[in-house]
Homo-oligomer: A and B are copies of this chain.
Amino acid sequence: MAKIVVLGAGMMGTALCTPIADAGHDVRLVGTMLDTAWVEAMKRDRIHPKVGVPLPDAVRVYDLTELDAALQGVSMVGVGVSSSGVRWAAEVLGSRILPEIPVIAVTKGLEQGEAGELRVLPDVFREALPEAKRGMQPCAIAGPCIAGELARRVPTAVVFTGRDRAALEQFATAFSTPYYHIRVSTDVVAVEVCAALKNAYAMAVGIGAGVHERMGGRASPVAHHNYEAAVFAQACIEMGQLLRMLGENTDHVAHLAGAGDMLVTTSGGRSSRLGRWLGLGYSFEQAREKMKGETLESAELVRVLGSALAGLVARGKLKEGSLPLMAHLFEVIVGGKTVDMPFHLFFRS
């Protein structure tokens, strides 16, 4: 039995506590300053209001002021903050834990560096650590995982990725349960690029439902599923193009972090809903208005990757006309265009 802290009491951080507790550990779930209401509710009712199922008994809930107490004797740390909270988490944890304590984050995202290069979140996390802790190699979790399902112990399969295989194996051994299936991969860039892209591409698949509705259709086995599947296939092709360009292992596209996670992301959630609004013919500005107050990672990702595309073509890394679906999403999200899916440019790889 190990003592394991999870920092971040959003849905995913909270859900992650269930397999860890079921695997026999002492789990300490610490809310951030954004989680105060949820921490209060869980301290009172033992249920996260958005997750909706009781916490296992082995999970103790802390607020941020109790972080130091929670970290007493800890041997592994999970991070469940949003992508905008990664630097904060690195600073908060970096000044408090020993460098040999492994860290794993559920956060997904991609940033553009100053030279236009794409950076995955474990690297962003590491660079935000205090100088003395830069030797740490944070791990990350990718693959299809709806938080509410994991908390309900629905069979779930994920990939733990990072550069430190020993840390990955340690987490995989510690967190595995009969319903939480873990593969490890040191292909951190390939896995994290898939994990990030799938939000943007799931949004693109969601456009089909909006187009169908705009044309007067109802949800049905005969809808715009051909459209959705064509976009899904093109998304897989573009993930592969990008990984090839980066010199990374393209096998992850047709695996948990790519197609698997993209599938689950099309089954509901913010990315699909944004896609639906765009498919209905709304501009991104109008769609954002409809979804006021929600974090739109998919749009943010399109902004990052779409801006990087032009530079990659200019530097000869990608052929002109590569990733035509992403390029169109960029026109929509950043350029103010309405959706007009360029199928005639697709399927060229």
Within 8 A of B (CB), among A215-241: 221-230, 232-233, 236-237, 239-240
Q: Confirm or deny: A181 has a beta carbon within 8 angstroms of a beta carbon on chain B.
A: yes
- Known contacts A221-B146, A233-B255, A269-B221: A226-B154 contact under CB 8 Å: yes
A156 at the interface (CB under 8 A from B): yes
- State whether A341 and B155 are in contact (beta carbons under 8 Å apart), knowing that A229-B263, A229-B264, A263-B263 are contacts in the complex: yes
- Number of this chain's copies in the complex: 2
Bound-state Cα–Cα, A260 to B222, Å: 16
CB-defined contacts of A268 to chain B, threshold 8 Å: 221, 225
In angstroms, how far is the closest chain B Cβ from the Cβ of A148? 4
**Is A347 within 8 A of B181, CB to CB?**
yes
Is A315 interfacial (CB-CB < 8 Å)? Answer: no
CB–CB A230/B157 < 8 A: yes
Contact of B225 with A149 in the complex, beta carbons under 8 Å: yes
Q: What 1/0 mask marks residues of chain A from 145 to 171 whose CB sits below 8 Å from any chain B CB?
A: 110111010111101000000000000
Query: A226 with B259: in contact, given A157-B347, A181-B343 (CB under 8 Å)?
Result: no
Judge if A253 is at the interface, Cβ distance under 8 Å. yes
In the complex, per-residue mask of A23-63: 1 if CB is within 8 Å of any chain B CB, else 0: 00000000000000000000000000000000000000000
**A263 close to B232 (CB less than 8 A):** yes
Q: Contact at A240–B254, with CB atoms within 8 Å? A: yes
Q: How far is the CB of A19 from chain B (nearest CB, A)?
A: 12
Residue A192 CB within 8 A of the other chain = no
- Whether A149 pairs with B226 at a CB distance below 8 angstroms is yes
Separation of A343 and B233 alpha carbons in the complex (Å): 25
Residues A221 and B255 in contact in the complex (CB < 8 Å), given A156-B230, A181-B343: no
Known: A240-B254, A251-B349, A268-B221. A229 touches B260 (CB 8 A): yes
Taking a contact as CB atoms closer than 8 A, the residue among B152, B230, B261, B343 that contacts A229 in the complex is B261
Which among A226, A230, A239, A344 has the highest number of chain B CB atoms within 10 Å?
A226
Question: A339 to B167, alpha carbons, bound, how many Å?
Answer: 34
| Cross-chain contact B226 with A150 (CB below 8 angstroms) | yes
Instruction: Please give 14 more A-B residue pairs, beta carbons under 8 A apart, in addition to A155-B341, A229-B261.
Output: A146-B221, A149-B225, A149-B227, A152-B222, A157-B233, A157-B343, A157-B346, A221-B268, A221-B269, A229-B267, A230-B256, A232-B263, A233-B259, A240-B254
